[in-house]
Amino acid sequence: MCKRIKILSRVKSGELSYCKNCGSFHLVFNNLFFALDRKELKRFKSYIDDLEIEYWENKYDSSELRRKIPLPTTQDNLVIMFNRQEIVELKTMLNFSMNSNAEIMPIINVDDIDYKLQAN
């Protein structure tokens, strides 16, 4: 179990963290969990950045699918589906700055904070 975890980036639906003990990145998004090394994280970020959202939304335009943007996996019968907002959140979460010591430079705005404000 990782004990020295540092959160690198957070959005409403998930967070990206780094474990200093094992050197792995943990990406939690909705009900998905990915454990990635540095190279895998870079490839995943590149894939998400290069996704053509409009293409996939138009391809499934007449479909009743709520999520239309596929993320294929190495398992032939498993494809993870996302909608536009989820892809935007993933891109935001993966767009973090990290120096050579893997220190945090968070990217979060007020809209990402899930807090109910109540005036007295």
Q: Which amino acid is at 24?
A: S
Full-model pTM: 0.70
Per-residue pLDDT tens digits for 25-42:
999 999 999 999 999 999
76 against 100, higher pLDDT: 76
How many Cβ atoms sit within 10 Å of the Cβ of residue 9? Answer: 23
Residue 102 structure tokens: 């893997």
Domain contains 51: yes
Number of structural domains the chain divides into: 1
Q: Please state, in angstroms and as integers, the Cα–Cα distance from residue 99 to each residue in 94, 96, 105, following that order.
A: 15, 10, 9
Position 35 in a domain: yes
pLDDT in tens, 42-90: 999 999 999 888 888 888 776 677 788 888 888 889 989 898 899 999 9
Evaluate whether residue 107 is within a structural domain: no
> Cα(95)–Cα(107) distance, rounded to whole angstroms?
8
Looking at the domain assignment, is residue 110 inside a domain? no
Q: Using pLDDT thresholds of 50, 70 and 90, give the confidence band for residue 108.
A: low
Closest CA to 96 of 6, 32, 5, 2: 6
- CATH at 10: 2.30.31
pLDDT at 2: 65
Considering only CA atoms, which of 26, 31, 28 is closest in space to residue 6? 26
Domain span at residue 26?
Answer: 5-98
φ and ψ at residue 90, rounded to 5 degrees: -60, -45
Q: Is residue 115 part of a domain?
A: no
Let me know if residue 70 belongs to a domain.
Answer: yes
Q: Count of alpha carbons within 13 Å of 27, Cβ hemisphere only?
A: 20
